[in-house]
Chains A and B, each alone.
Chain A
Amino acid sequence: MDPIRRLIVWAPDPEADLGPLLDDFAQIAPRFEVIDRRRVMIDVRGPARYFGGDAAVASRVVELFKMHGLICGVGVADGYIAAYAAAAQSARCVPPVPVVVPHGGSQRSLESMSLARLVQIAELPTEFADLMGRLGVRTCGDLVRLPPERLAARFGLVGEQAHRLALGQDRSPLVTTTVEPEQRIEVVFDDPVMHVDQVAFAVKRSVDPVIEALSRAGQICTSFVATIETEHGECTDRSWYLDRGFGVAAVVQRVRWQLEAWVDIPGAVTAGVVLVGIAIAETRAGTGEQTRLWGQRSRADDAAIRAIDRLGALVGSEAVQMAIWSGGRLIDERYRLVPANTVDEFESTAPAHLRAWRGALAGLSPTLVRPAPESVEVLDGEGRPVVVSGRGELSASPAVMLIDGRQRQILDYAGPWLIDQRWWSPARRRVAQMQVIDEVLGASLLWRRERRWWLVGSYG
């Protein structure tokens, strides 16, 4: 079976969120699948017939995102891997130009891609690339020249899958099935729920047995549609896709993203959530890839997972949390603490290369970040308030800081730096940041917002 011809949109900016734009996107392709906040995929065959070719669809998509001030790469190719690689290549162009790999050309387009990259995109165990590298097999081209049965014999399913993917094919398309309608889960709230975490909990509880039953039957879910409805009848539905298959926490994560993006659209949500529906759209034979092939889950991991449950019983499961990377430039939003039992163990890692994101605070980060910043006064040498101009300049050198009535001399300071976030959206935040050192050598991070100074963090 030929791989599906796909178009993938990829936003390189780690803080980008395509969520609020998806309704406009639906004008071009009514059926699309969301991979995560920065990636969307469509089966391009339908829209291509309508608009007159892949290139025509792709340039419409580029136009749409440009209109919203978002930089996105757009790639079209046979199969997921080649389409994704094309989107990444497209994003590197300035301005982005869609990259369309001709039909039948996927294998050639992947020829020189490194195995490390393939493993990264396909979310295969990284050890596979390391091991092959030591055997002198470094690119997809090298890999496809090896006999597939020998790869399968030596590396099992990972070897077989990697070979297929390097050829530009999809992962085991033959065993993809559409499931019967009873695989639809409805979570009904008698009292409308206003809090994302509450929704996440309820969804987790209901999805758990279904994913469990699937996995007992040797199946994993690769696509589902989530529908969320409010008391006022407002409704959103999204189709989500994950090549390696969804675990329970990954499903919950997607519902969380969908709800957060929806709430961010001005006026979209005016009441609490009363219903969440999860319809499993596609499953395929589970290959056991979800448990890491090299380096299984350790005994320490199992013990910790049990401790998470016990701690939850003691202090409430909302209070037992893990930190997940959420992008952004401001210290209070780059990581978020979410209930530990809704975290997908594969997704809580912060990609190290993204940490030094432009505009983020360079240098050291505060060890103490206040969830509710405290208002402080900053005065110059003559006791006048220090203010920041629109261009980010200080009215005078800060000399004294008043925290809670207590006075602290300012020995030295750095900044301010202006940060203007999401200028296109109502959730816009404009902040000037400044670091100060006080007389007892305490260092603090201050923000200037809404014409006041706030103590946001300390370096403890």
Chain B
Amino acid sequence: MAGALVDLFAERALVRGQIITYSGDAARSLALASVARATADGSWLALVAVGDLGVEAAVELGVDLTRTIVVDTRCADHRRWVDVVGTAADGCEVIIAAAPPQLSERALRWLRQRLRSRGAVLLVLADRDRPARDRPVPDRYGADLGFDVRTSQWVGIERGAGTLQARRVEVSITGRRVHRMRTAAYWLPGPDGVIAPADPLVVASESDGSSTIASGVS
């Protein structure tokens, strides 16, 4: 992962055997950025059922395509999802999989066992889940860590001019291994193209024409 992102993880790295969930509108970007370093260092990445991946964006976020497999399947039911993810874990140390419709406790236990024995880490992409269904996203997957990632600012475009250059996101961190919810802010990436921590938002206003919103600020 990009150097600055290690602060999001208690162990300052992706930990084998863990499950991490990503929700919120900017979930994809943070998930891809989280695995970039691993692929560059020689780990293989499997993207399971994350249909419509913007390959170019993955490259911009640092993912090494020569070690990336895309499994283009619907995984209609959870049993199939578990099968595919488990098989991917045979050869890929990092897996990003779109969230399945539902997952039984038993299937989850089997999967966790599998991840541990293969030494793989699973990132569950829940960006299409409705925000407040029955349970918080990390709980649904027994996740060690859960990131909820919301865009709070775009930089680079104004009334027809420019292009999207930078995005600021607010991340809330929960999960089994997190005692109290923490928050963090990042440039994903910043105007210089680098992923870096962002200063806490002080002023948030919509009247000055900037695209900042007040939500997601601790």
Where the two chains meet, the residues of A that have a C-beta atom closer than 8 Å to any C-beta of B are 298, 300-301, 303-308, 310-311, 314-316, 319-324, 331, 334-335, 337, 340, 345, 348-350, 355, 361-371, 394, 397, 411-415, 435, 437, 440-443, 457, 459-460
A441 to B165: give the CA distance in the assembly, Å: 14
Out of B52, B71, B166, which one reaches A315, CB within 8 Å? B71
Q: How far is the CB of B33 from chain A (nearest CB, A)?
A: 10
Could you tell me if B54 and A369 are in contact, using CB atoms closer than 8 angstroms?
Answer: yes
Q: How far is the CA of A319 from the CA of B72 in the complex (A)?
A: 5
Q: Which residues of B contact A440 (CB under 8 A)?
A: 25
Q: How far is the CA of A112 from the CA of B183 in the complex (A)?
A: 56
The reply to whether B84 and A311 form a contact with Cβ atoms under 8 Å apart is yes
CB distance from B169 to the nearest CB of A (A): 10
Inter-chain CA distance A411–B68, complex, in Å, is 36
A314 touches B164 (CB 8 A): no
In the bound complex, do residue A305 and residue B25 qualify as a contact, i.e. CB atoms below 8 Å apart?
no
Q: 11 A-B Cβ contacts within 8 A?
A: A300-B43, A322-B69, A324-B65, A348-B65, A348-B66, A367-B32, A414-B157, A414-B163, A440-B25, A441-B150, A460-B27
The reply to whether A366 and B54 form a contact with Cβ atoms under 8 Å apart is: yes
Which residues of chain B are within 8 angstroms of A457 by Cβ–Cβ distance? 54
- B103-128 interface bits toward A, Cβ cutoff 8 Å, 1 = contact, 0 = none: 00000000000000000000000010
Residue among A300, A308, A435, A460 with max Cβ neighbours from chain B (10 Å): A460
Contact B87 A335 (CB under 8 A): no
Instruction: Name the 8 nearest CB pairs between A and B, nearest first.
Output: A307-B91, A363-B163, A414-B157, A335-B55, A304-B44, A365-B56, A460-B28, A304-B91
**Does B184 make an interface contact (CB < 8 A)?**
no
A357 to chain B, nearest CB (A): 11
Known contacts A310-B90, A331-B56; A413/B160 CB under 8 A: yes
- The 8 A CB mask of B64-102 against A (1 = contact, 0 = none) is 011111111100000000011001101111000000000
What's the Cα separation between A365 and B163 when bound, in Å? Answer: 10
Query: Across the two chains, which residue of chain B brings its CB closest to A364?
Result: B164
CB distance from A376 to the nearest CB of B (A): 16
Chain A residues with Cβ below 8 Å from B92 are: 304, 307
A123 vs chain B, min Cβ distance (A): 15
Contacts known (A307-B91, A349-B65, A460-B27); A331 close to B54, Cβ less than 8 A? yes
List the B side residues contacting A306 at CB < 8 Å.
90-91
B58 within 8 A of A: yes
A459 in contact with B56 given A315-B84, A322-B69 (CB within 8 Å) = no
Interfacial chain A residues near B18, Cβ < 8 Å: none
| A367, B66: Cβ atoms closer than 8 Å | no
Give the chain A neighbours of B66 by CB distance below 8 A.
345, 348-349
| Inter-subunit contact A305/B91 (CB<8 Å) | yes
Also in contact, A362 and B52, with CB within 8 A (given A304-B44, A314-B87, A441-B152): no
The A interface, classified by DSSP as helix, strand, loop or mixed, is: mixed
Residues of B within 8 A of A324 (CB): 65
Please measure, in the bound complex, the distance between the C-alpha atom of A368 and the C-alpha atom of B91, giving whole angstroms. Answer: 25
A411 → B minimal CB distance (Å): 6
CB distance from B30 to the nearest CB of A (A): 10
Please state if B157 and A437 are interface contacts (CB–CB under 8 Å): yes
Q: B156 near A: Cβ within 8 Å?
A: yes
Is there an interface contact between B87 and A307, defined as CB atoms closer than 8 Å? yes
A414 to B211, CA, bound (A): 14
Q: Which of B176-218 contact A (CB under 8 A)?
A: 189, 211, 213
Using CB atoms, name the residue of chain A closest to B216: A441
Interchain CB contact under 8 A, B156 and A321: no
Closest residue of A by beta carbon distance from B162 = A414
Q: In the complex, what's the smallest C-beta–C-beta distance from A429 to chain B, in angstroms?
A: 17
Closest-CB distance, A340 to chain B (whole angstroms):
6
| B151 within 8 Å of A (CB atoms) | yes
Residue of A nearest to B151 (CB): A441
Q: How far is the CB of B79 from chain A (nearest CB, A)?
A: 12
Q: Give 7 A-B pairs besides A310-B87, A310-B91, A311-B84 with Cβ atoms closer than 8 angstroms.
A: A300-B43, A304-B91, A320-B70, A355-B59, A363-B156, A460-B26, A460-B27
Residues of B within 8 A of A364 (CB): 57, 60, 156, 163-167, 189
B164 touches A369 (CB 8 A): no
Cβ-closest chain A residue relative to B29: A367
Contacts of B213 in A (CB 8 A): 441
In the complex, A337 Cα to B53 Cα: how many Å? Answer: 10
The answer to whether B54 touches A367, judged by C-beta atoms less than 8 angstroms apart, is: yes
Cβ of B162 to closest chain A Cβ, rounded Å:
5
- Contact with B164, one of A304, A345, A443 (Cβ below 8 angstroms): A443
Q: Contacts A303-B90, A441-B152, A441-B154: A322 and B65 contacting too (C-beta < 8 A)?
A: yes
Residue of A nearest to B72 (CB): A319
Shortest Cβ gap from B5 to chain A (Å): 16
Closest to A336 in B: B55
Please name all residues of chain A whose beta carbon is closer than 8 Å to the beta carbon of B67 when the two chains form the complex.
300-301, 304
Verify B163–A323 contact, CB threshold 8 A: no
Query: Cβ of A435: which chain B residues have Cβ within 8 Å of it?
Result: 157, 163-164
Greatest chain B CB density within 10 A among A300, A305, A345, A414 is at A414
> Which residues of the partner chain B approach A315 to less than 8 Å between Cβ atoms?
71, 73, 84
Interface check B46, CB cutoff 8 A: yes
- Min Cβ gap B9→A in Å is 21
Residues on the B chain within 8 Å of A442, using CB: 25, 151
